[in-house]
């Protein structure tokens, strides 16, 4: 079984963000980048499945040169091969153009099953996997919190998260696109051996032409929406910040809780 996993490299959620002077996006120079959180879970799901059911994991990413680092990490964790949609035409896309590009890449590698994350931590569309599924004509499920192959790999059982602490149990026919939600499993850490082995694993790059796609149908040009500006959210009334060192602030807070909130 050939399992595709789509991962995106995103700014570390811990990083201090600065908006570019022109407001068009954030300053990316010197930002630490990591694999998107739900994609780490998607990767673990794919690698664990390949180990259990037999087969290999191929990882895909759309991103600039820096994103190769995310692919190398995926290879170190156990993926067999990586495909980097690094060509300039692929960059700056939205779920429509990225879903289209990833679908073409997955189809070229003849994968039987795709894992993606549920939502990217930067643009947060929550949509790319579903578009990819639609483009392939495969069923999909979003916010997947449990996955198991059934009927010798012809179908799968899926646990889909619902609002307010409920889950729905589903059966999907394969091939399918499974959009994994954070918390589905416990992602492994890369071993030293894995990191060494990753250096020799194949990492290929693809251009739109390689995938049989019009360069104007992918990336920024192929996107349906464009980002106009980013800014800090208008923050309601905002908190009253209690100044001073930890002890001073803590004392001030207890005073407030006692006299203003009347809770202590």
Partner 1 sequence: MAARKVWAVLQQRGGELNRQSRETVAAAQELASQVDAAVDVVVLGAGGRPLADRLAGEMAVERVLCGDHPALETYTPGAYVAALAPAIRQQAPSYVLFPHTYQSMEYFPRLAQQVDGAIVPAVAGFRLAEGTVLWTRPVLGGKLQADVRVKSASGSPVLASIQPGAIAADRLRAGSGAVEALPLDGLAGFVPDREILGIESAAKDEVDLSKAEIIVAAGRGVGGADKMGVIEELARALGAEIGASRPVIDNGWLARDRQIGSSGQTVAPKLYIAAGISGAIQHLVGMKGAACIVAINKDPNAPIFAVARYGIVGDLHEVLPALTAAVKEAKGS
Ligand X SMILES: Nc1ncnc2c1ncn2[C@@H]1O[C@H](COP(=O)(O)O)[C@@H](O)[C@H]1O
Ligand Y SMILES: Cc1cc2nc3c(=O)[nH]c(=O)nc-3n(C[C@H](O)[C@H](O)[C@H](O)COP(=O)(O)OP(=O)(O)OC[C@H]3O[C@@H](n4cnc5c(N)ncnc54)[C@H](O)[C@@H]3O)c2cc1C
Peptide bond into 175 cis (omega under 30): yes
Q: Within positions 202 to 231, which residues make up the interface with partner 1, using CB under 8 A?
A: 223-231
Least gap, CB of 123 to ligand X (angstroms): 5
Task: Give the residue with the Cβ less far from partner 1, 26 or 149.
Answer: 26
Q: Which of 77/161 has CB closer to partner 1?
A: 161
Residue 65 burial (CB < 10 Å; 0-12/13-18/19+)? Answer: exposed
Q: For residues 104 and 85, is the Cβ–Cβ distance under 8 A? A: no
Residues 116-175 that bind ligand X (CB under 6 A): 116-117, 119-120, 123-129
Binding span for partner 1 by CB under 8 A among 52-60, 78-86, 153-161, 190-198:
153-161
Residue nearest to ligand X (CB): 117
Q: Which of the listed partners (ligand Y, partner 1, ligand X, none) does 17 bind, with a CB threshold of 5 to 8 Å by partner kind?
A: partner 1
Mark the segment that binds partner 1 (CB under 8 A) among 70-78, 85-93, 122-130, 209-217: 122-130
Pick one of ligand Y, partner 1, ligand X, none as the site partner of residue 113 (Cβ within 5 to 8 A by kind): none
Reading the block at residue 262, the tokens are 């009347």
Partner from ligand X, partner 1, ligand Y, none binding residue 36, C-beta < 5-8 Å depending on class:
ligand X
Least Cβ distance, residue 255 to partner 1 (angstroms): 8
- Which two tokens mark 157? 């059982």
Torsion region of 131: left, alpha or beta (phi above 0 gives left; psi -120 to 50 gives alpha): alpha
Q: Cβ closer to partner 1: 84 or 160?
A: 160
Of residues 67-126, which lie at the interface with ligand X (CB under 6 A)?
A: 95, 98, 102, 116-117, 119-120, 123-126
CA distance 49 to 57: 9
CB 45 within 8 A of CB 82: no
Q: What residues have CB less than 8 Å from 59, skipping those under 6 apart?
A: 4, 5, 6, 7, 43, 71, 74, 75, 79, 81, 82, 83
> Is residue 118 close enough to count as binding ligand Y by CB under 6 A?
yes
Peptide bond into 160 cis (omega under 30): no
d(CA 60, CA 35): 12
Q: Does 6 contact ligand X by CB under 6 A?
A: yes
Q: Return residues touching ligand X (CB under 6 A).
A: 6-8, 36, 38-39, 42, 60-63, 95, 98, 102, 116-117, 119-120, 123-129
């Amino acid at each position: 079984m050939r399992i595709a996993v789509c991962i995106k490299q995103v700014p570390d959620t811990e990083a201090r963000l600065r908006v570019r002077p022109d407001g068009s996006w954030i300053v990316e120079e010197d930002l630490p980048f990591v694999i998107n959180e739900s994609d780490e879970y998607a990767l673990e799901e794919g690698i664990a499945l390949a180990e259990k059911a037999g087969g290999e994991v191929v990882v895909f990413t759309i991103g600039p040169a820096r994103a190769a680092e995310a692919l190398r990490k995926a290879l170190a964790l156990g993926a067999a091969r990586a495909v980097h949609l690094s060509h300039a035409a692929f960059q700056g896309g939205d779920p429509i153009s990225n879903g289209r590009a990833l679908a073409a890449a997955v189809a070229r590698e003849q994968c039987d099953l795709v894992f993606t994350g549920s939502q990217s931590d930067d643009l947060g569309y929550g949509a790319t996997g579903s578009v990819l599924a639609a483009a392939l004509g495969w069923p999909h499920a979003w916010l997947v919190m449990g996955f198991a192959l059934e009927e010798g790999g012809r179908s799968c059982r899926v646990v889909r998260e619902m609002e307010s602490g409920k889950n729905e149990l589903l059966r999907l026919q394969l091939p399918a696109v499974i959009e994994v939600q954070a918390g589905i499993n416990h992602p492994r850490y890369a071993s030293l051996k894995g990191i060494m082995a990753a250096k020799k694993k194949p990492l290929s790059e693809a251009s739109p032409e390689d995938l049989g796609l019009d360069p104007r149908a992918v990336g920024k040009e192929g996107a349906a929406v464009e980002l106009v500006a980013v800014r800090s959210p208008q923050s309601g009334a905002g908190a009253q910040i209690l100044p001073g060192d930890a002890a001073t602030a803590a004392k001030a807070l207890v005073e407030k809780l006692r006299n203003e909130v009347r809770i202590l």
